[in-house]
Amino acid sequence: MKNRQKLDGRDTYTPTNAPQVRGNCDSVIKHDCEVGQVLQDLKTPTNNSDVDNSQHSESSDLRVQNIVYVLNMRGQPLMPTRQQKANKLLKQGRAKVVKRSPFTIQLKYATGEAKQYITLGIDAGYSKVGFSAVSEKKELVSGELTLRKGISKLIEQKSNYRRARRSKLWHRPPRFLNRAKPKGWLAPSIQHKLDSHVRLIEQMKAILPITNVIVEVASFDIQKIKNPDIEAVGYQQGEQLGFWNVREYVIHRDNHTCQHCKGKKKDKILQVHHINGRIEGATDRPEELMTVCKTCHDEHHKGIDLIPMKEIKNFKPEAFMSAVHWKLTELLNCKHTFGYITKSNRIKQGLEKSHVNDAFIIAGGDCQERFEPYEVKQKRRNKRSIQMDRKGFEPSIRRQRYKLQPNDLIKDTKRNTIHRAKGMCGYGKQIRLDNGKYILNKNAKLICFGKGMTYV
């Protein structure tokens, strides 16, 4: 009993024979939730801890597999524990909650650091990323991350704001020597997706002692996809060989005939029209262009006779994987595998095609007990909101950054309910909730920050 009291009192003690593994828990520990609140309904049937539930107002995210992630006193990950043991530690005050989803606790006393061999498999992708961490006996975590879209449009919007702001400043002679792109430069939208892969892996390493990381890589020959018979000199002699530009090729391809009216309007002036608009992400590829007469083109833009849009295959996912697959393995300094190996092993085990199952196979999963997968979504942390209703004044961009940001989890102390914050209004006096209602800022209590990735 005396020894136990000594350990409880020495919060900063770390065994001298414990392995000094480098670790950083900054991505996990952002705000300590109150232990008493979590203990009220630790055994909750719901998987989503961030919803407003009348019976479980302070519910916490515990998977069906009864897994709670554990950090030691230094914030470094240990092997997960059972829900019952975590409940006892919280009641005794020997642990504290540092993250609600995935549910993670940090010990307040020294303990051994025996760890098992855990492999993290990553099924990289353009729009969705599958992840799975597997030990010898069970799958400890899995899920599918949905990446954000529309980054290019946001960057263009940011550029417009900056251009308008700089137009009001003093002018200087243009400088062109600082326009060179550094080595290894990627487009911002591609760089964001690459960084999201790295951020996801860092979050997994923050809650589990990952031993090995394996990433599935792939390189695509887009010309071969479009034309399976292409070979040798055909790569240099494309479909536009012998034409001055794309417009000339498209008109020749369409036999100098309007593809909308088929020459019925007898307009000899031909123009090239984007099948899908620029807003839909159209490019100047020949597949996305068609020949129309001037009459049809003018009527389309006037809204009289609209030219129907159609779905066109683009190769953005293939181009993304070809550009970043080796960069990802170099940044993580990890092993890699290929898609055909994953497909073969998945078919042998009789699993359906999905990002989660592929990640499970990549991690070396075979007959382990499966984990109920998370649905991870990226949400914008902050936005440039424009205040339109200013009673006769011009629209204004919000310049003040408030304490609460979109997607933060807050508690309404007056009604004892939990909500997600959608934004602040009334110059910081009111908070708009995800259900469309409003509460006063003085009645709101921050439970934990929203982050950029939300686990459901």
Where is pLDDT greater, at 154 or 20? Answer: 154
Q: Pinpoint the residues of the chain covered by CATH 3.30.420.
A: 119-160+186-220+316-378
Q: How much is the pTM?
A: 0.73
Q: Report the interhelical angle of 188-207 vs 151-166 (nearest 10°).
A: 120
Which pLDDT tens digit goes with each residue over 151-163? 888 888 888 878 8
- Residue 185's alpha-carbon distances to 86, 178, 182, 197, 327, in angstroms, are 46, 14, 6, 17, 11
Query: 119-160+186-220+316-378 adopts what CATH topology?
Result: Nucleotidyltransferase; domain 5 (3.30.420)
Q: H-type helices in 141-213, by residue range?
A: 151-166, 188-207
Helix (H) or strand (E) holding 328: helix 316-332
| Residue range 48-66: mean pLDDT, rounded | 43
Mean pLDDT computed over every residue of the chain: 80
Which pLDDT tens digit goes with each residue over 399-418? 677 788 888 888 999 888 98
Specify whether the CB–CB gap between 420 and 407 falls below 8 A: yes
Alpha-carbon distance of 45 to 54, in angstroms, equals 13
Q: Using alpha carbons, select from 114, 24, 123 the residue that is nearest to residue 74.
A: 24
Specify whether the CB–CB gap between 139 and 371 falls below 8 A: yes
Q: Give the per-residue pLDDT at 57.
A: 33
Q: Using alpha carbons, select from 131, 120, 126 the residue that is nearest to residue 358.
A: 131
Task: Give the pair of three-digit tokens for residue 199.
Answer: 């951020």
Q: Pinpoint the residues of the chain covered by CATH 2.30.30.
A: 386-455
The band of 313, judged by pLDDT with boundaries at 50, 70 and 90, is confident
Query: 386-455 adopts what CATH topology?
Result: SH3 type barrels. (2.30.30)
The band of 172, judged by pLDDT with boundaries at 50, 70 and 90, is low
Task: Give the pair of three-digit tokens for residue 247.
Answer: 């417009």
CB atoms within 10 A of CB 62: 23
The band of 144, judged by pLDDT with boundaries at 50, 70 and 90, is very high
27 pLDDT above the threshold of 80? no
